[in-house]
């Protein structure tokens, strides 16, 4: 009977992504930082971005403790010129990006007829447009490499509707549609596009109301799902993960 795990197996898992460069948007806190830390512990070089200089500096220092190269840049990933610069400078600092995690996102809730056009534009720009822009910026490099993983963090709100979720659900349903079509467009180039749909996660992220965070998902749960995707055997890919807390918050 095969052994389930050995010390050598665990040691090899630590460096399983050693030759890869991962860019995580919104990587300064919460889910994004947990994902960046998980990929760093697996040996990947890490690029992160955020909009707050202090948070970015703290996250970079924390990631550097993993002993891998880290690049950090202030960027608004809803702006095309800043995305182009982020991708170019990350690649110049670390090498060609082969893992992209589109994690940046915001939450705005309330009846759709009470939301403003400006609120709709803001949530679509950050939650959906940024996925399009970031992916577009790194795909040419992935095509040259003949490999790559794009992991888009959506939500169970991208699969379900609820009162007060109009513009948020619209943005996350958009991520689902974009991800599925990109997966079909790119699979023949050796590029895997996957989407993760978490339920309630205990972070600083805006929520619809008070929840029992002791029963919520943890950022590390989402990071584990990302690890599952990017360490999948090369001849297959996990197209979608729906992630729920065991007990309803």
Which amino acids are annotated catalytic?
168
Q: Is residue 219 within a helix (H) or strand (E), and if so which, with residue range?
A: helix 219-230
DSSP secondary structure letter of residue 104: -
Which of 226, 229, 238 has its CA nearest to residue 34? Answer: 226
162 phi/psi in degrees, rounded to 5:
-155, 155
Q: What residues have CB less than 8 Å from 179, skipping those under 6 apart?
A: 131, 152, 154, 193, 194, 195
Q: In what order do the strands lie in the sheet with 70-74?
A: 70-74, 45-50, 21-24, 99-102, 148-153, 191-198, 240-243
Radius of gyration of the chain (CA): 18
Q: What residues have CB less than 8 Å from 225, skipping those under 6 apart?
A: 196, 198, 241, 243
C-alpha 120 chain-centroid distance: 22
C-alpha 173 chain-centroid distance: 16
Do 97 and 22 form a contact (C-beta atoms < 8 A)? yes
Do 48 and 36 form a contact (C-beta atoms < 8 A)? yes
5 phi/psi in degrees, rounded to 5:
-155, 150
DSSP secondary structure letter of residue 188: G
């Amino acid at each position: 009977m095969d052994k389930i795990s050995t010390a050598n197996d665990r040691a090899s898992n630590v460096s399983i992504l050693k030759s890869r460069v991962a860019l995580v948007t919104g990587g300064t806190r919460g889910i994004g930082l947990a994902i960046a830390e998980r990929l760093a512990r697996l040996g990947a070089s890490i690029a992160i971005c955020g909009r707050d200089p202090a948070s970015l500096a703290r996250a970079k220092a924390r990631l550097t403790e993993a002993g891998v190269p880290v690049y950090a840049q202030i960027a608004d990933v809803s702006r095309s010129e800043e995305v182009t610069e982020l991708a170019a400078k990350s690649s110049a600092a670390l090498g060609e990006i082969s893992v992209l995690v589109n994690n940046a996102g915001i939450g705005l809730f309330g009846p759709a007829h009470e939301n403003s056009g400006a609120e709709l534009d803001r949530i679509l720009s950050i939650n959906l447009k940024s996925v399009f822009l970031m992916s577009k910026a790194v795909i040419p490099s992935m095509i040259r490499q003949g490999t790559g993983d794009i992991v888009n963090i959506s939500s169970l709100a991208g699969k379900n509707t609820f009162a007060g979720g109009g513009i948020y659900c619209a943005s996350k349903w958009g991520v689902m549609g974009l991800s599925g079509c990109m997966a079909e467009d790119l699979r023949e180039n050796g590029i895997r596009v996957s989407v993760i749909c978490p339920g309630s996660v205990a972070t600083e992220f805006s929520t619809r109301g008070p929840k029992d965070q002791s029963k919520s998902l943890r950022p590390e749960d989402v990071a584990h799902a990302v690890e599952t995707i990017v360490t999948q055997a090369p001849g297959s890919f996990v197209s979608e993960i729906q992630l729920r807390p065991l007990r309803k918050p």
